[in-house]
């Protein structure tokens, strides 16, 4: 993991994705400048205690760090629907009206695929050969429904992606130290109980690794930041720790041809 500072913002990056010249990406941490009316910085969530003007200001600053990308946010509902952005018309429609989905894929340079999180994972995917990027919102519901597989299956179908060519990054989220589910017998299928310790805490990072591998991603192409949102209030928002809280953005996209 690397840390970058730009436009008074600080964001984290995966070492494997940072080595790919064709993309921009970042996970924005809760540091530096405070936007008026927002809960910390940068709080990209308009429905998380942020005034609309403050949210828009945060999003403009984030876009400025991400090659002035046109940011595509999602109406995240903890499902497994995947939005596909293939044309400029698709892009403009998605920028204006966020698709209801929990994963998004594109091959359009300059589109910044944004996930908002406050304990859930952002899982970024990139195929350098096909020039395709994706971003996944995977909370515990997304994990048990295997939205990772749904996204990769859509990449295969819509863009002829070979999963063996993908690089993947698993962002900050509830770690195995804090992902406690006392009522796991009612909430989580038995097939996932092997990821539980004796204190009812689940390792969703390992679940995502295993789901990526099962979908065909090579183990050496998977990187996890191993940062727990609940343990690091100075870095990231955590719904489980704070209840009413902000959202941090995780963004990935393809660079335009005139950018290096």
User: Which residues does 234 contact at the CB level (< 8 Å), separation at least 6?
Assistant: 30, 31
Look at residues 111, 118, 160 and name the one whose alpha carbon lies nearest to residue 135.
Answer: 111
Q: Confidence band (pLDDT; 50, 70, 90) for 52?
A: low
State yes or no: pLDDT of 44 exceeds 70: no
Q: What is the pLDDT of residue 257?
A: 82
- Mean pLDDT of the region 82-105: 97
Q: What is the pLDDT, as a whole number, of residue 241?
A: 86
Residue 246 to residues 69, 117, 238: CA-CA distances in angstroms? 22, 8, 8
Question: 160-164: which pairs have CB atoms within 8 A and are 24 or more residues apart?
Answer: 160/130, 161/127, 161/130, 161/132, 162/127, 162/129, 162/216, 163/215, 163/216, 163/217, 164/216, 164/217, 164/218
pLDDT at residue 243 is higher than 60: yes
Residue 40 has a pLDDT of 43
The predicted model gives 101-106 an average pLDDT of 98
Q: Which residues are bridge partners to 242 per DSSP?
A: none
Q: Tell me the sheet residues that pair with 254.
A: 23
Angle (nearest 5°) at CA 142 between 138 and 143: 90
Region 7-35: mean pLDDT is 86
Q: Which of 13-27, 215-229, 246-260 has the lowest mean pLDDT?
A: 246-260
pTM for the model stands at 0.92
Instruction: Catalogue all structural domains in the chain, each as residue range(s) with its CATH number.
Output: 2-254 (3.60.140.10)
In the block, tokens 């295993």 appear at 210
């Amino acid at each position: 993991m690397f840390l970058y500072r730009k436009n008074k913002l600080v964001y984290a990056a995966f070492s494997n994705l940072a080595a790919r010249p064709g993309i921009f990406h970042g996970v924005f941490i809760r540091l530096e400048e405070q936007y008026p009316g927002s809960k910390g910085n940068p709080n990209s969530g308009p429905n998380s205690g942020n005034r609309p003007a403050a949210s828009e200001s945060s999003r403009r600053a984030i876009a400025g760090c991400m090659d002035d990308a046109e940011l595509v946010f999602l109406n995240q509902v903890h499902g497994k629907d995947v939005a596909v952005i293939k044309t400029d018309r698709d892009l403009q429609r998605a920028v204006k009206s966020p698709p209801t989905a929990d994963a998004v894929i594109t091959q359009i340079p300059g589109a910044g695929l944004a996930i908002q999180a406050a304990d859930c994972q952002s899982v970024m995917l990139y195929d350098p050969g096909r020039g395709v990027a994706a971003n996944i919102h995977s909370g515990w519901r997304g994990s048990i429904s295997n939205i990772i597989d749904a996204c990769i299956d859509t990449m295969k179908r819509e863009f002829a992606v070979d999963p063996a060519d993908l690089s993947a990054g698993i962002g900050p989220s509830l770690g195995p130290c804090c992902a406690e589910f006392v009522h796991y017998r009612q909430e989580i299928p038995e097939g996932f109980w092997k990821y539980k310790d004796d204190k009812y805490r689940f390792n969703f990072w390992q679940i995502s690794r295993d789901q990526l591998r099962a979908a065909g991603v090579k183990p050496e192409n998977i990187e996890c930041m191993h940062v727990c949102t609940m343990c690091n209030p100075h870095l990231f928002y955590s719904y489980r720790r704070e209840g009413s809280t902000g959202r941090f953005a995780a963004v990935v996209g393809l660079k335009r041809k005139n950018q290096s």
